[in-house]
Amino acid sequence: MSIHSSLKTKSGALNQHRNVLTRDERVAKLSAAERFSAGKNSPLGLPKVLSIKVAAGKKPKKEPAADAAAKPDAKKK
In the chain, domain spans? 17-54
DSSP string, the chain: -PPPGGGPPPTTGGGS--SS--HHHHHHHHHHTT---TTTS-SSSPPP---PPPPPPPPPPPPHHHHHHHHHHHHH-
Q: Say what the pTM is.
A: 0.49
pLDDT in tens, the chain (77 residues): 788 888 877 766 666 777 888 889 899 999 998 888 888 888 888 888 888 777 777 778 877 765 555 666 555 55
